[in-house]
Structure 1
Amino acid sequence: MKQSKRLSIDERVLKWTKRHKKRNSLYTGIILIVAIVLIVFVMSSEKIQPVKAMSKAQGDIRMTYLGNIELNKHIRKNNIHKSFSAVSDILKGSDFSTASLNYSKFSKNKKKDINSNIENVMFLKDLNIKSLNIINQVTDNITARDFGRAVDAQVGENYLTGNGSNPINSKTVQQTVKNKKVANVSFTDVESDYTDPLKNTTSISLEPRIFIPLVKKLKENNDFVVVNVDWGITDERNVTTRQREYAHALADAGADVIIGHNSVPQQIEHYKNTDIFYSLGNVTSEGFLSKKKHGLAVQQNWKGKHSKFMITPIKSQSGQITADKPNKVEEIKLLNNLESKSVNLKKENGGYVYEN
C-alpha cells in the first residue's frame, strides 16, 4: 500500500486556507441574505404616521408652514400622492400654507423641463399649498424666468413669490384669507459666506436696503406678513450671528412669521412680536445623510394678536413622509436644538406646542 505524501507546513496552511475560504464565502452569503431580509422586514413594518392636526377654535385662521420639497425624477418614481399622505390632512385644513420647492432638472429639452416642473407646482397646489417659493440651483436665469411666467399663466401671478432672478425683483403674494390680508415674500442671502455667489436665485436678494422698505410696505398694506428666507447654509444646526441679525431686522421691519429654509431644522425664537423658525429642514430629500431627511411641519392658529403653534417632527422614510417619533435621547437632542430662551415647547398631540 502506497503511503500518501506528507505535506509540508506551507502546504498544510494553504490547504486549510482554501477550505475555510469556501466556508467563509458561504457564511458571508448567508449573512448577507439574512441582513437583506431583515432590512426589508424592518422597512415594511414601519408604519407611516400622519401629522395630527391641531384643534382650531372658531374664528382662528390656520396657517401651515413646510420646509424644502424635492420632487426630482427619482422621487417622482414613487406614488407622490401616497408619499405626501401624512401631511395632506393638515394642508387641506389650512386657510393659508407655504413651502419651498426645488426646481429639478428633468430633461435637456427646455420645454419638457419646464413642463415637468410645472407638474410639481400643480401637484403642490392641489395639496392646498397657497403660496410657493421656488429654489433654483440647477438651471439658468432665463429658464427660471420662463418657468415662472409659465406658472403665472396657469395659476395666476399671485402664487409664486420672488419670480425671476433680478436681485431687486419684488414679486410678492398677497391674498385675502377670511377677511384678513396675508402677504408672503421670499428672500435669499446671496452674500452669505456659505452661498455660491453665482447661484441663480429665484428669490429677492436678502439685503437691508431691499428687504426693509419692502417688508415695511407689505405690513402697511396687510394684516399678516410671512417671510421665507433661504439662508444659503446646509447641514448646520446652529443659528449663525448673521442669520439672527437679519431675522431680527426682518422682524423690526414688520414680519409676523419668518420661515427659514436650510437642509436641517434649526432653533425657534420669539422676538418681540415675531415668531422665527430659523429652518424647517427638508420635507423630501435625496440627501445621503439621514439628518437631511428630517424636517418640521408647523401649524399656527392665528387670531389677531394671539397665536398658538404646533411643531411636528417629520422625516422621509422609504420614499414617504411620516411624523417622526424620536426616542428619549433623540427627543432631548431635538428639543435642545429647537428651544430658545423665548420658546418653551410642551409635548401635545404628537408634536410640541407653544403660545404667545
Structure 2
Amino acid sequence: MKQSKRFSINERVLKWTKRHKKRNSIYTGLILLVALVLLGFVLKNQDFEPVKAMEKNGEEIKLTYLGNVELNKHIRKNDLNDTFNSIKDLLHGSDYSTASLKLSDFSDDRKTNIHKNLENVMFLKGLNIKSLNIINQVTDNITARDFSRAVEAQNGYNFLTGNGSNPINSKTVQQTIKGKKIANVSFTDIESDYADPLKNTTSISLEPNIYIPIIKKLKENNDYVVVNVDWGMTDERSVTTRQKQYAHSLADAGADTIIGHNTVVQEIENYKDTNIFYSLGNVTSEDFLSKNKQGLAVQQNWNGEHSKFMVTPIKSVGGKLTKATPNKIEETKLLNNIKGENVELKKENGGYVYEH
C-alpha cells in the first residue's frame, strides 16, 4: 500500500487558507447583505421632522430664506414632493420666500438642459418660492440667457434675480406684499480668491461701483431690500475679512437683510440693523460630506419696523429634508459657529430666535 505524502507546514497553511478564503467570501457577503438591510430599515424608519412655523399676527409679513438648492438628475430620482415635505407647510405659510437654485447639467442637448432646469424652477415656484437666485457653473452664456427667457415666459419678469450671464447686469425683482414693496437682488464676488473668474455667473458682479447705486435706488423705491450674495467660496465655516467688508458695505448702501450662499453654514450678524446671514448652507446637495448636507431655514416676521427671526437647522438624510436635532455637543458647535455680533439666540420651538 502506497504511503500518503505528508504535507509540509507551508503546504498545510496554503490548504487552510484556500479553504477559509471561500468561507470568508460567503461570510463577507452575508455581513454586507445584513448591513444593507439594516441601513434601509434605519432610513425607512428615520423620523423626518417638519420645520415648525413661527406664529405671526395678521399685520406682520412672514419672509422665509433658504440656502442652495441642487436638483440634479441623481437627486431627481427621488420623489421631490417627499424630499421637500418637511418645509412645505413653512413655505406655503410664508408671504415671501427666496432661495438659490444651482443649474444642473442634464444633457449635451441645450434644449433638454433648459427644459429640465425649467422644471426645477417650476417645482420651487409650486412650493411658494417668490423670488429665485440662480447659481450657474455649468452652462454657457447663450444657454443661460435662453433659460432666463424661458423662466420669464412662464413666471413673468419679477421672479429671477440676475439675467443671463452678464456680470454687470442689474436685473432685480421688486414685488408688492401686503402693501409693502420688497426688492430682491443677487451679487457674485467674481474676484474672490476662491472663485473661478471665468464661470458663467448669472448675477451681478459684487463691485462697489456697481452694487452701491443699485441698492441705494432699490432702497429709495422699496420698503425692504433683500440681497443674495454668492461669496465664491466653498467649505469654509469661518467668515473671511473680505466677506465682512463687503457685507457691511452692502448694509451701508441700504440692504435690510443679506443672505449669503456658500456650501456650509456661517455666522449670523446684526450690523446697523441689517441682518447678515453670511451663509445658509445647502438645502439639498449631491456632495457626500455631512457638512454639505446641512443648512439653515430662516423665518422672519416683519411688522414694517421691527423683526423677529427664527433660525432652524435642517439637513438631508436619505434623500429627504428634515429639521436637524443636534445633540448637546453638536448644538454647542453649531451655536458657536453661527452666533455673531449683536445676536442673542434663544432656543424656541425647535429653532433659535432673536429680535431687533
**Code of the aligned partner of 1:17:** T
**Code of the aligned partner of 2:205:** S
Name which of structure 1's ranges 182-191 and 114-123 shifts more when overlaid on structure 2: 114-123
Identify the residue that residue 246 of structure 1 maps to in structure 2.
246
1:163-174 alignment to 2 at 5 Å?
163-174=163-174
The C-alpha deviation readout for 1:170-218, integer Å capped at 9, x for no partner, is 1100111111110000000000000001000000000000011110111
Identify the residue that residue 187 of structure 1 maps to in structure 2.
187
Name which of structure 1's ranges 34-43 and 281-290 shifts more when overlaid on structure 2: 34-43
What's the offset of the Cα at 1:2? 5.2
Residue aligned with 1:258, SS = strand
Identify the residue that residue 196 of structure 2 maps to in structure 1.
196
**Code of the aligned partner of 2:71:** L
Partners of 2:25 and 2:106 lie apart in 1 by 42
What's the offset of the Cα at 1:246? 0.2
Identify the residue that residue 326 of structure 2 maps to in structure 1.
326
What's the offset of the Cα at 1:19? 2.5
**Code of the aligned partner of 2:220:** E
Identify the residue that residue 315 of structure 1 maps to in structure 2.
315
Identify the residue that residue 34 of structure 1 maps to in structure 2.
34
Partners of 1:277 and 1:159 lie apart in 2 by 22
1:238-277 alignment to 2 at 5 Å?
238-277=238-277
1:113-262 alignment to 2 at 5 Å?
113-262=113-262
1:5-16 alignment to 2 at 5 Å?
5-16=5-16
Name which of structure 1's ranges 183-192 and 82-91 shifts more when overlaid on structure 2: 82-91
What's the offset of the Cα at 1:343? 1.2
Identify the residue that residue 347 of structure 2 maps to in structure 1.
347
Partners of 2:12 and 2:191 lie apart in 1 by 69
Identify the residue that residue 59 of structure 1 maps to in structure 2.
59
Identify the residue that residue 299 of structure 1 maps to in structure 2.
299
Partners of 2:176 and 2:215 lie apart in 1 by 17
Partners of 1:214 and 1:249 lie apart in 2 by 13
TM-score w.r.t. length of structure 1:
0.97
**Code of the aligned partner of 2:258:** I
Partners of 1:248 and 1:145 lie apart in 2 by 31
What's the offset of the Cα at 1:3? 4.2
**Code of the aligned partner of 1:195:** A
The percentage of counterpart residues that share the same residue type is 73
Partners of 1:326 and 1:106 lie apart in 2 by 35
The C-alpha deviation readout for 1:156-182, integer Å capped at 9, x for no partner, is 101101112222211100111111110
Name which of structure 1's ranges 5-14 and 147-156 shifts more when overlaid on structure 2: 5-14
Partners of 2:6 and 2:263 lie apart in 1 by 67
Partners of 2:156 and 2:28 lie apart in 1 by 59
What's the offset of the Cα at 1:49? 1.0
Name which of structure 1's ranges 4-13 and 330-339 shifts more when overlaid on structure 2: 4-13
Identify the residue that residue 19 of structure 1 maps to in structure 2.
19
Identify the residue that residue 45 of structure 1 maps to in structure 2.
45
What's the offset of the Cα at 1:73? 1.4
Residue 75 of structure 2 corresponds to residue 78 of structure 1: no
What's the offset of the Cα at 1:148? 0.7
Residue aligned with 1:342, SS = coil
Identify the residue that residue 101 of structure 1 maps to in structure 2.
101
What's the offset of the Cα at 1:17? 1.8
Residue 271 of structure 2 corresponds to residue 290 of structure 1: no
Residue aligned with 1:270, SS = strand
Partners of 2:10 and 2:179 lie apart in 1 by 90
Partners of 1:124 and 1:25 lie apart in 2 by 47
Partners of 1:75 and 1:196 lie apart in 2 by 25
Partners of 2:48 and 2:25 lie apart in 1 by 37
**Code of the aligned partner of 2:308:** K
What's the offset of the Cα at 1:290? 1.5
Partners of 1:80 and 1:279 lie apart in 2 by 24
Name which of structure 1's ranges 42-51 and 8-17 shifts more when overlaid on structure 2: 8-17
**Code of the aligned partner of 2:55:** S
List alignment gaps of at least 5 residues for structure 1: none
The C-alpha deviation readout for 1:40-66, integer Å capped at 9, x for no partner, is 121111121111100112211100000
Residue aligned with 2:119, SS = helix
Partners of 1:80 and 1:317 lie apart in 2 by 13
**Code of the aligned partner of 1:9:** I
Partners of 1:15 and 1:250 lie apart in 2 by 74
**Code of the aligned partner of 1:271:** Y
What's the offset of the Cα at 1:26? 2.6
What's the offset of the Cα at 1:76? 1.4
**Code of the aligned partner of 2:276:** I
Partners of 2:71 and 2:308 lie apart in 1 by 31
TM-score w.r.t. length of structure 2:
0.97
List alignment gaps of at least 5 residues for structure 2: none
